[in-house]
Chain A
Amino acid sequence: MTAPGALLERVCSVRGIRGAVLVSAADGLVVAESLMAGVDGRAVAALAASLVNRLGRAVEAAGRRAPLFVQLAAESGSVLAVVCGSELVLVAVTSPDANIGLARLELLEAAGRLA
């Protein structure tokens, strides 16, 4: 397993990603973070974990397996979340001009190394 800090730095090197946080899925607490100024890592962690958990229940009710990737798209950017095993969620906050496809690939690769 690669050190989380190095993986988060790599994720943040993708254009348009303003920060990345590794979150405990159960309680929404920050495990590791790499953030630009103005991004509240604790808020990102808590909100993303809560949303992923809620969506997980909905997906389960729909007879599908747990989500691997979630994107909350908003007018001024997105929150991307990738589930790493059963305990961690890797979350990134992007600006509106980010390449979401590239960011998604980078997050999935990082999550694979963290799991």
Chain B
Amino acid sequence: MAEDIRAMTAELAADPASLVFLELGETLRRRGQLQAAFKVARNGVARYPELAAAHDLAARILADRGELDRAFEAWVTALKHDPALLGAHKGLGFLYYRAGDLASAEKHLAYVVEADAGDAGTSAALAKVREEQSAGLPDGPTAGVLAPPGEPDRRSEPASFAPSGRPAVQDELPFSFEEPSAARLDDTVFAGLEGGSDSLLLVDANGLRLGGGLRSPAGHDVADAVAAQLSGVSKEAARAARLLALGEWRGLAVESPDGNLYLTAPTAGSLLLTARGPELPMGRVARLAERAAGAARRWLEGIR
């Protein structure tokens, strides 16, 4: 067993509520260990039935196993819990394309490209779909020339999946493609603060995103992946400060060559990540974090 899988398995065994199952399942999937990956994902879905990322993971594994009908259901479920989840839109775009429903494929892929303009793969897929639409290709299963999200090209595989008889995607999914922001997470948490939607991220103790967002320096949406990784940080910081007789922890400053990050706990059950580029000194990032933590506290008190 590879060392990283062993470590994540041990972490999950020690804390079955850990969100490390998302990373473990994805790592197993990428290495082709689909049975083990699906077991991890299934347990994760059972523990966190409202966690969109868990359904997304299960869907990717099912797609790899060729169970496209079940993958479709899992991605639809993921979008019911997080209508802005780009991975699920990519997956559904892929499945609709394979089924020959170019209009629905176009809507899902366009949503992804609108939210993440830096996603070159999806942009290319969208261009391909639009090209076929404008060429007036007949309906029906296609040759499956689009690769599923994060996967190599599968053009040699038969297009066996056809969600025939399903309602149009606009009727099935609880949001409008024309107004993608309407059903996103509450963006009012950091209203008025610079970077409130892409460099301030509020998560709960389980690593679930409460508000804000985060993009990588390359422009990719990394909010949910980072939120999952932050699930145990608050506890670990508190434990370290306590065991070293340093009292309550107040903040975690992290310097990377690509930027400065500051973590603080607005409340006992939440964690706030403030991210800025390397050009902004850490002292100023910490000041921004203080202000954002105040906004987060007020917002959390308001929804109680």
A→B interface (CB under 8 Å): 39-40, 43-44, 47-48, 50-51, 54-55, 57-59, 61-79, 93
Contact = CB atoms under 8 A, between A and B. Distances in A.
Interface of B: 23, 214-218, 220, 222, 225-226, 228-230, 232-233, 236-237, 239-241, 243-259, 261, 275
Contacts, number: 115
A90 B233 CA distance: 20
B252 A65 contact: no
A44 B135 CA distance: 65
Given A54-B233, A61-B229, A67 B256 contact: yes
Contact of A74 (B246, B253, B254): B246
B73 to A, nearest CB: 27
B72 to A, nearest CB: 27
Nearest to B255: A69
Contacts of B225: 61-62
Given A47-B240, A63-B217, 11 more contacts: A51-B233, A51-B237, A58-B230, A59-B261, A63-B216, A63-B220, A64-B257, A67-B256, A74-B249, A78-B246, A79-B240
B222 to A, nearest CB: 5
Contacts of A73: 249-253
Please give me the 10 A-B residue pairs with the lowest Cβ-Cβ distance, nearest first.
A63-B216, A74-B246, A75-B247, A47-B240, A58-B229, A64-B258, A74-B241, A69-B255, A71-B253, A76-B247
Contacts of A74: 241, 244, 246-250
B226 A62 contact: yes
Given A61-B229, A73-B249, A66 B256 contact: yes
Contacts of A50: 236, 240
Contact of A72 (B215, B252, B256): B252
15 contacts: A54-B229, A58-B226, A61-B225, A61-B229, A63-B217, A64-B258, A70-B252, A72-B241, A72-B249, A74-B241, A74-B248, A74-B249, A75-B250, A76-B246, A93-B244
Contacts of A47: 236, 239-240, 243-244
Contact of B222 (A39, A63, A67, A78): A63
A48 to B, nearest CB: 7
B222 A61 contact: yes
Contacts of B216: 62-64
Nearest to B286: A73
B282 to A, nearest CB: 8
Query: Among the interface residues A63, A76, A77, which one has the most CB atoms of the partner chain B within 10 A?
Result: A63
A61 B230 CA distance: 10
Given A43-B243, A78-B246, A64 B251 contact: no
B76 to A, nearest CB: 26
Given A58-B229, A74-B250, A40 B256 contact: no
A59 B244 contact: no
B236 A51 contact: yes
B233 A67 contact: no
Contacts of A75: 246-248, 250
Contacts of B249: 72-74
Given A63-B218, A64-B259, A57 B229 contact: yes
A62 B240 contact: no
